[in-house]
Structure 1
Amino acid sequence: MPDQGAAFAARLEKAVQASEQAGTSPAAASAKRSEDAKLKAACQEMEAVFLNMMLSRMRASVPKTKLMGDTSGEETMQSLLDTELTKNMAQAGGMGLADMLYRQLSKSTVKGQAR
C-alpha cells in the first residue's frame, strides 16, 4: 500500500505543476483538459486505495473459519479480488471521495494560477 500512496502523491504533484504552468492558448486549453482528466484519474485511484484499506480492515475484523480447509493462496486471491473490486467501486462513483478530492484540488490549482 505505501507504494500506491507514493505513486498517487507523485502523479498528483505532476498534475498540480502542469496545471499551474498551463496558459490560455488552444494548446494550453487542451493540455488543461488532459491534466484535468489525469487529476480525476488520480482522485479515483486515491478513492480506490482508501476503499481497499477499509475493506481489508473490515475483513480482518471477521473471524476466520476453516470450513473450506486451510489454503495458502486464499488470502492472496482475496487481496487481489478486493483490489479489483475497489477499483471498480471507485470508477462507478464509490462513496464520492474522488469527486470531493477533485473539486477541492481543482479549486486550489485555479487559485494557484491566479497568483
Structure 2
Amino acid sequence: MPAIENNMAPIQPLTGGDRRERALEELKKATEEFEAIFINSMLKAMRNTIIESNLFPEQAGKDVYRAMMDEYLAKEISRSGGVGISRMLFEELSKYIGEEVYRGTK
C-alpha cells in the first residue's frame, strides 16, 4: 500500500500572471459554454422545422434522448472550434482582464 505523501511546504500565493492565466482559463470555459448553449438552441430550432413522419411509431422518451443528443452535439461542436462565437467573445472580453486581476480585485 503506497504511503500518503505529507507535504507541509507553505502554499505560495498566486502571482499576477497566475491570476491572469486562471481568469483567462475561466473566460475560455465560459465562452465555450455560451456558444454551446447558442448552438443547442439553433439545433432545437432546426429540428422543429423537420416534418415528422408516421413511418416509425412514436416512442416514449424519444424527445428526451433527442434533447440529450443535441446538447452533447452542441458541446462537442463548441469545444472543437464551433461557429466562431466563442473565439470572438474570448478575444473581445480578454482585453478587460488586466489591471483588476493584477491588483487582486477579481
Within the alignment, does 1:85 sit opposite 2:73 as a pair? yes
SS in structure 1 opposite 2:86?
A: helix
Q: 1:26 to 1:70 in 2, by over 3 A?
A: closer
Larger Rg: 2
Of 33, 40, 44, the match for 1:52:
40
Structure number with the bigger relative contact order (C-alpha 8 A, sep ≥ 6) is 2
Which of 47, 52, 55 is the equivalent residue of 1:67?
55
- The TM-score normalised by the length of structure 1 is 0.70
Secondary structure of the residue that 2:53 maps to in structure 1? coil
Q: Percent identity?
A: 28
> Structure 2 CA distance, aligned partners of 1:26 and 1:78?
44
1:32 to 16, 20, 24: 20
User: Could you tell me how far 1:43 is from its partner in structure 2?
Assistant: 0.2
1:97–1:40 distance in 2 versus 1, CA, 3 Å: same
Higher helix fraction (1 or 2): 1
Partner of 1:107: 95
Whole-angstrom distance in 2 between the partners of 1:32 and 1:109: 7
Compute the RMSD of aligned alpha carbons. Answer: 1.9
Cα deviations by residue, 1:33-53 (Å, 9 ceiling, x for unpaired): 011001000000000000000
In the alignment, structure 1 segments of 5+ residues that lack a partner are 1-24
**Count of aligned positions:** 89
Structure 1 residue 28: Cα displacement: 1.9
Amino acid at match of 1:43: T
* Counterpart Cα distance in 1 of 2:55 and 2:28: 42
